[in-house]
Amino acid sequence: SRATPITDASLSTSNTFNLIADQNDGTGNYSTLIDKEAVSFTNNIWQTTPSHYYWSGIANKTVNFYAYYPTNISTNITHSAGSAPTLLYTVPSDASNQIDIITAINPNVSGSTATSTPLTFNHIFAAVKFAVGTSGLPSGTIKSITINGIKNSGTYTFGSGWTLGSTTSSFTVSPSTTINGTSGENIASDDFTLMMIPQIFSNADVSLVYNNGTTFSAKISGTWNAGGVYTYKLSKTIISDFTEKVNTFF
């Protein structure tokens, strides 16, 4: 089910993420040591369960770590030993079916380390939200907001980013939110945030529909970066401006 975008400073200890680890034999040949195994917070540390793995004790037998959350994207991830995993993904058109995905890498970790290995997770999508612009909107209940003409699929390579597919699609949020129409008012809660593949786009169509059938529309262009939060401020002239915030994640 849809989850609110992750904004905490660290993963909750109730969460589980998956881990891939490739080990160098010391001469540049890699084998997969850990293959999409679950990592949970157990006995006050994050660890794979039920299996346990140990350092080689040899410095040049390095390990490349790759992690991702949520774990249910495993079937979309492919991986060959010695190469970064890739995620093949198509964004659902309905925001209620979209998820927030975070990934982490830590390559070339010494096989003789005696310390814990940190994983810094980053969002791979851009978050898109909506609020009332400075010119205001009519009061009423918002039935839907749709953006059309946005790339909807691609391949994400851990540590490198996205290669976009060729197709575009429309994306819809259906908040059923009643607004006063005053400047700065949120049109939908975080649960209705669009999680979009980062991209440069032009002349995308935006439409705002009320329950009574009233519709406003316009075209927008811009750039969405991974980890960025973009709030579009909608007015009677539909898009007056937008604010961009780039979050700092764990």
Length of the chain: 250
pLDDT value at residue 20: 98
Task: Say if residue 249's pLDDT is above 90.
Answer: no
Amino acid (one-letter) located at 161:
G
Biggest distance spanned by C-alpha atoms of the chain: 69
- What is the spatial distance between Cα 146 and Cα 166, in angstroms, rounded to a whole number? 20
5-19, 45-59, 80-94: least confidently modelled range: 5-19
pLDDT at position 116 is 86
- Residue 117 CB coordination number (10 Å): 13
The predicted pLDDT at position 165 comes to: 95
How many Å apart are CA 97 and CA 138, to the nearest integer? 29
Mean pLDDT of all residues in the chain? 90
- Provide the whole-model pTM: 0.90
Distance separating alpha carbons of residues 222 and 237, to the nearest angstrom: 18
pLDDT tens per residue across span 114-156: 888 899 999 999 999 999 988 899 999 999 999 999 999 999 9
Question: Per residue in 52-86, pLDDT tens?
Answer: 899 999 999 999 999 999 999 999 999 999 999 99
Mean pLDDT lowest for which of 79-83, 168-172, 188-192? 188-192
pLDDT at res. 104: 97
Tell whether the model's pLDDT for residue 248 goes beyond 70.
no
> Is residue 5 reached through a cis peptide bond, with omega within 30 degrees of 0 on the bond before it?
no
Where does the pLDDT of residue 177 fall: very low under 50, low under 70, confident under 90, or very high at 90 and above? very high
State yes or no: pLDDT of 236 exceeds 50. yes
Q: How far apart are CA 48 and CA 45, in angstroms?
A: 10
Which single residue is written with the structure tokens 């007056």? 240
Kindly state the average pLDDT of the residues 213-239.
87
The pLDDT of residue 245 is: 60
Six token digits for residue 126: 């851009």
| CB contact at 8 A, 157 and 163 | yes
Q: Are 193 and 135 in contact (CB under 8 A)?
A: no
3-class SS string, the chain: CCCCCCCCCCCCCCCEEEEEEEEECCCCCEEEEEEEEEEEEECCEEEECCCCCCCCCCCCCCEEEEEEECHHHHHHEECCCCCCCEEEEECCCEHHHCCCCEEEEEEEECCCCCCCCCCCCEECCEEEEEEECCCCCCCEEEEEEEEEEEECEEEEECCCEEEECCCEEEEEECCCEEECCCCCCECCCHHHCEEECCEEEEEEEEEEEECCCCEEEEEEEEEECCCEEEEEEEECCEEEEEEEEECCCC
Going by pLDDT thresholds of 50, 70 and 90, the confidence category of residue 235 is confident
Q: Is residue 244 very low, low, confident or very high in pLDDT (cuts 50, 70, 90)?
A: low
